[in-house]
Amino acid sequence: MSRSIRTSAAFAALALLLSSCANQDSEGGATSAAPEAGELPVQTSIDVPSDALKAAGDGKAKCAADTTIAYIGAMTGDNAQLGINIYNGAQLAINEHNKANPDCQVKFKKVDTEGDANKSTGPVTQVTKEKNVVGVVGLPFSGESKATGSIFEQAGLVHITPAATGPALSQNGWKTFFRGLGNDNVQGPGVADLATKLKVKKVFLIQDDSEYGTGLFQTAKKAMGADKVAGEDKVVQKQKDFSATIDKILKSKADAVFYSGYFADAAPLNQQLVGKGFKGTFIGPDGVKDDQYIKLSGDSSKNTYFTCPCIPGELIKDFSTAYKGVSDGKEPGTYSVEGYDATAIMLSGIDKGKATRPGLLDYVTKYEGQGLSKKYKWDDKGELAELPVFGYRVKDGKIVSVGEL
């Protein structure tokens, strides 16, 4: 368990669900509200470690006037909100840094890929040609990360993805690639853990045709075990009619569905599923965990739980308050904190005089320190050792955390 985010709810006072009492963890700094019968308890707060990196630094930094960090990823498109969450977190870090450091005003460049792997290579290539860009936050999605990793590598440009979870991304030998969260080899077992906590007997598994959805489907299926899988099916992105898949789900007698894909397609799927009389639980991963899912799915979303290797930023009081200043008053979303942490790490390197591509790459490679979300220290493949996965659910029209799985 991450020492930075211990959840105090011990999931077992529930007769149907768990085996110990919900209480206050004297070490951990998270508290839980009392759950309703048959539900996982809701996590209500998170304490940040005192040594967590803050983007402001010591206020003494000096750097060239054109020093730039870029965000590259979705700003428009069906699943753009996941990218918006990240660059808002990054923007907050930049703002805090520049306010505190008058002699180092780091610029922030945002470039849209629409989250489309086929459209991502052009923007990435353009940014790598801009020599004042010394580090990149992004790309959010696994498909576009796969398509562009070699471009960053050739340019020697360090990039930290706060969201792309495809396990194979770190197996390409890229020295410029760093992942700021657990990959799907971690999240897949988290799906199985959540199903177990919910006392689910049979799960029907569905994957979309994205790089992300395909990979996560396999790791979740493996972790679930054959005895728990009621059936499986494949769909495609932007699909409108899910009746064939829904027929298979209903015939399987599954009491839960796991959808491996993104919220833009998960919402109509679940809406149609509930409309056909499905009474069970709908489980989505980080790609589904977004307020847009609730807006698109409507009242049917109340049956939904999520997994995510992301910390619930809305439960970090100071961060949430500051974040609303860059998001038109909206609470932090999926990967907002991870976007902040990734940017803060790069800013700390710049503050220490590593404001060139080789210098910042070397700094991130050797970096070790506590962030808001977790401890950051990468191995030679760009993977982290500390890999918490959280559970979430829809309650009263909002996504709320049920703690670390």
| Residues 151 and 225 placed together within one structural domain of the fold | no
pLDDT-derived band of residue 36, with 50, 70 and 90 as boundaries?
Answer: very low
Strand-strand pairing, 133-137 and 107-112 = unpaired
| Residues 205 and 292 placed together within one structural domain of the fold | yes
In DSSP terms, which residues pair with 159 in a beta bridge?
136, 177
Task: Give the integer Cα–Cα distance in Å for 216 and 328.
Answer: 33
| Residues 324 and 366 placed together within one structural domain of the fold | yes
Q: What is the pLDDT of residues 113-143, one digit of tens each?
A: 999 999 999 999 999 999 999 999 999 999 9
Give Cα 184 to chain centroid, integer Å. 11
Cβ atoms within 10 Å, residue 66 = 13
| Residues 283 and 191 placed together within one structural domain of the fold | yes
Strand ranges (E), 47-92 = 68-73
How far are the Cα atoms of 193, 198, 281, 392, 403 from residue 42, in angstroms, in the given order? Answer: 16, 13, 17, 8, 7
* Mean of pLDDT values over 147-167: 97
Q: Is residue 263 one of the residues assigned to a domain?
A: yes
Residue found by looking up tokens 């495809």 in the block: 166
* Cβ proximity of 161 and 178 under 8 Å: yes
Q: Which pLDDT does position 365 carry in this prediction?
A: 98
* Strand ranges across the sheet with 229-234: 229-234, 203-207, 256-260, 281-284, 304-308, 390-395, 398-404
| Residues 278 and 189 placed together within one structural domain of the fold | yes
Domain boundary among 283, 308, 333: 308
| Residues 85 and 139 placed together within one structural domain of the fold | yes
Q: Which pLDDT does position 386 carry in this prediction?
A: 81
Q: Is residue 20 one of the residues assigned to a domain?
A: no
pLDDT-derived band of residue 32, with 50, 70 and 90 as boundaries?
Answer: very low
Q: Is residue 26 one of the residues assigned to a domain?
A: no
| Residues 189 and 281 placed together within one structural domain of the fold | yes
- Identity of the residue numbered 393: R
Tokens of 305: 């739980």
Segment (H or E) for 12: none
| Residues 215 and 277 placed together within one structural domain of the fold | yes
DSSP annotation of 170 reads G
| Residues 304 and 320 placed together within one structural domain of the fold | no
Q: What is the pLDDT of residues 263-294, one digit of tens each?
A: 999 999 999 999 999 999 999 999 999 999 99
* Cβ proximity of 325 and 76 under 8 Å: no
Q: Which pLDDT does position 29 carry in this prediction?
A: 39
| Residues 92 and 157 placed together within one structural domain of the fold | yes
3-state secondary structure of 171: helix
| Residues 175 and 225 placed together within one structural domain of the fold | no
CATH code, domain with 216? 3.40.50.2300
Q: What is the pLDDT of residues 376-399, one digit of tens each?
A: 999 999 999 988 899 999 999 999
Q: Is residue 286 one of the residues assigned to a domain?
A: yes
pLDDT-derived band of residue 3, with 50, 70 and 90 as boundaries?
Answer: very low
Q: Is residue 167 one of the residues assigned to a domain?
A: yes
Handedness of CA 346, 71, 164, 41 (dihedral sign): positive
* Cβ proximity of 63 and 359 under 8 Å: no
**Greater confidence, 149 or 7?**
149
pLDDT-derived band of residue 174, with 50, 70 and 90 as boundaries?
Answer: very high
Q: Which pLDDT does position 39 carry in this prediction?
A: 73
Domain region containing 323: 68-180+313-377
* Cβ proximity of 17 and 402 under 8 Å: no
Q: Is residue 368 one of the residues assigned to a domain?
A: yes
- Tally the domains of the chain: 2
Side-chain-side CA neighbours of 98 within 13 Å: the count stands at 17
Task: Provide, rounded to the nearest whole percent, the portion of the chain with pLDDT above 70.
Answer: 91
Residue 66 pLDDT exceeds 80:
yes
Handedness of CA 297, 298, 301, 306 (dihedral sign): positive
Q: Is residue 51 one of the residues assigned to a domain?
A: no
| Residues 174 and 98 placed together within one structural domain of the fold | yes
Domain boundary among 284, 308, 332: 308
Which residues, including other chains, have CB under 8 Å from residue 89's CB and lie 6 or more apart?
162, 313, 323, 332, 335, 336, 337, 338, 339, 340, 341, 343
| pTM listed for this prediction | 0.83
Task: Give the integer Cα–Cα distance in Å for 226 and 169.
Answer: 27
Q: Is residue 12 one of the residues assigned to a domain?
A: no
Query: Hey, what's the torsion of the CAs at 402, 161, 301, 284, to 10 degrees?
Result: -80
Comparing 38-52, 176-190, 234-248, which segment has the lowest mean pLDDT? 38-52
Q: Which pLDDT does position 161 carry in this prediction?
A: 98
Residue 25 pLDDT exceeds 50:
no
Domain boundary among 308, 341, 364: 308
Could you please report the per-residue DSSP string of 299-330?
A: GGGGGEEEEESS--GGGSHHHHHHHTTTTTTP
* Cβ proximity of 279 and 162 under 8 Å: no
